[in-house]
Structure 1
Amino acid sequence: MDSDSIDAEIIPVTSTFSPQTLGVASFILAVVVLAFVFLFTRRRSRAAGQHLLLVGPPDAGKTAILSTLVYNQPLPTHTSLQTNSSVIALPKKALTVVDIPGHPRIRNQVNEFITDAKAIAFVVDASTVSRNGPVVAEHLHIVLNAIRSLPPSQVLPSLVILAHKSDLVKSSASSATQAISRVRTILERELEKRRLAQSGGVGVEGLGEEGERTEMGGLECSGEKGIFQFDTWEGGEVTFLGTSTKIVDEKSGLRDFEDWVEENA
C-alpha cells in the first residue's frame, strides 16, 4: 500500500462526530472538572479550622485566660489594642490561640480569622454583664453573624460562651451556675431586642466603625416565632461555662474550659 493510500485512510476524529455531540461532550467534561474542583476546595475548607479564637468585650479577661492557658498562671495584663497569639500544648496536639481585642475599632477582626477557627470562646465578665448587657450583646452579635456568614462548605467552629470572673458573683448557689444563668438570660434578652429591631426595619447601632446603623443577620432561630434563644440558634450548638483564673481547692477555675478545648478544638 503506497503512502497516498495511507494518507487517504486517516480521517480526523472530529469529522466522525456532529457539532451537537461535541457540544454535549464538552459540557459533560466541564461538569466533571467543576465537580472535582468543588470537592477539592470543600475538602480543603473542611480541614481549614486550626485556631481557637478568644473574643469578647474589653476587660472581660481574655488576655488573663490566654496567659493562664500558656503559663498556668494569670499574668498582669492591660487592655489590649492588638491581636495576640500563643501556642498551647494539649495532650494530643498543639493549638494556636488568638486573642482578638474587644475595642470597637478592632473587634471586627474576628471576620479575618473566622475561616481558620476550629473553636471560638466568647468571654463575658459575669460580674458586670447586668449593666453592660447591650454592649456585650452587640459584640456577640458580630461574632454570631461572622459564624453564620461562613460558606456552606465550611465546617462551623464550635462556640462556647464563658461566664468569666464567676468567683466574683455572689450567690447562695454555685457561683459558676449563677454566673452562667445571669449571662445567658441577659444575652438572650438583649439579642432578642436586636432581632426585633431589625425585623421591624430598624437598624441596630454600633455595628460599624463609626457607630452607624446597619442591617446584620446571624440571629436566626428555628424556634416558635423565631424568638432568639441559644438552644434554637441555627448556627449550631452553644455551650456555656462558668470560669475564673482563680485556683479554688487546688482546682483551676479554667478546668472545665480546658476540657472543652481538648474535646472541641
Structure 2
Amino acid sequence: MDASRFLFVAGSLVAAILFLAILVFFTRQKSKSRGSSLLLVGPPDGGKTAILSTLVYNQTLPTHTSLQTNASVVAVPALKKSLTVVDIPGHPRIRNQVDEHIGDAKAIAFVVDASTVSRNGAVVAEHLHTILNALTSLPPSQALPALLILAHKSDLVKSGTAASATSESLAINRVKTILERELEKRRISQSGGVAVEGLGEEGERTEMGGLECTGEKGVFNFDTWEGGEVVFLGTSVKVGSGEAEKVDEDGLLSLRQWMEENV
C-alpha cells in the first residue's frame, strides 16, 4: 500500500470515528433532555387525584378512586414554566399504564398513605417494586426519571412520644422504614429462588428486578439503590376545605419547591 492510499484509509477511519462520537454525543444529549411530565403513581386511595387537583386548582376537590388516567398542566410561577402532571390509577389491572408514560417522564412520584402503610406495607411495597423494575429496565441511553416517594396524609401521623419531630418527618421515617423492610423481604425471596406474589386477583407470581443495591450483602436500602437517588417528601391536603388562603397552606409546599428546583 503506497503512502497516499494509506493516508486516505487512515483519514477515512478517523472521519468515521469522529462521526460516531458526534452521533453518540447528540444522542445522549437528547436522552438527557427528554422528559416533561411528573407521573403520580401508587396504590388506590393514596391521595394521587387529590394532589393533582390541589396542584392544578390550588384547592382540594372531593375525589373517588380513579379508573382512568388523568393529566393536567400545572403552572410553576417561579420559573414561568409549566409541567404536565399525570395521575395513573393504582388498580392492579390498569396500573401498568405507567409503561405508556414513563418514556416522557421527568419524575415519578410514588404516593403512599403514611397513615395506613403500617397495615398494608407488603401491598404498597409490591406496587413500588413494579415501579423500580420499570425504571431499571429502561434503555441505557435514556436518562432515568427522578424518583420521589411522597409520604402523603402526613398530617394524620401522630407521634406516640413527646418528641418534637414534625408530622412530615415522622411520616417519612415510617414510610421509608416499612418499605425498606418489605422490599428486602421480596429481594430475599427472589434471591432464594422463590417467586413473590403479585397483587392480581388471580394471584399470579412473578420475578422482577429493580431491587439491586450497592450496600453490604446487597440488602435493600433506598440510600444505596442502584437506580439512583430517591427523594422522600412529606405531604398532605385537606379535602373539601375550599381554596387555601396561601399556596403553602395546602401541605404540598415541599413538592412545589421540588418542582421549582427540578423542572
Please give the TM-score of this superposition, normalised by the length of structure 2: 0.86
Q: CA deviation at 1:191?
A: 0.2
Moved more, 58-67 or 45-54: 45-54
Q: CA deviation at 1:181?
A: 1.3
- Deviation digits for residues 51-106 of structure 1 (CA, Å, limit 9, x no counterpart): 11101000000000000000001111111111110000002111100111101011
Q: AA paired with 2:57?
A: Y
Specify which of 255, 259, 262 is matched with residue 261 of structure 1.
259
Which structure 1 residue ranges, 5 or more long, are not aligned?
1-15
Q: CA deviation at 1:127?
A: 0.9
Q: CA deviation at 1:32?
A: 4.9
Whether the 8 Å CA contact 2:59–2:250 is kept in 1: the answer is no
Matching residue of 2:228: 236
Q: How many residues align?
A: 250
Specify which of 201, 205, 209 is matched with residue 217 of structure 1.
209
Structure 1 pair 226–17 and aligned structure 2 pair: CA distance change class (3 A): same
Find the residue that maps to 2:151 and give its secondary structure.
Answer: strand
Q: CA deviation at 1:174?
A: 2.2
Moved more, 254-263 or 60-69: 254-263
Specify which of 235, 246, 250 is matched with residue 252 of structure 1.
250
Specify which of 74, 81, 94 is matched with residue 82 of structure 2.
94
Larger RCO, structures 1/2 (Cα 8 Å, 6+ apart): 2
Specify which of 125, 129, 133 is matched with residue 145 of structure 1.
133
User: Where do residues 1-265 of structure 1 align in structure 2 (5 Å cutoff)?
Assistant: 31-91=17-77, 92=79, 93-171=81-159, 172=161, 173-206=165-198, 210-246=202-238, 251-265=249-263
Which structure 2 residue ranges, 5 or more long, are not aligned?
none
Q: CA deviation at 1:214?
A: 1.8
Q: CA deviation at 1:107?
A: 1.1
Identical aligned pairs, as a percentage?
A: 71
Distance 2:182 2:234 in 1: 20
Distance 2:7 2:196 in 1: 56
Q: CA deviation at 1:30?
A: 5.5
**Higher Cα Rg: structure 1 or 2?**
1
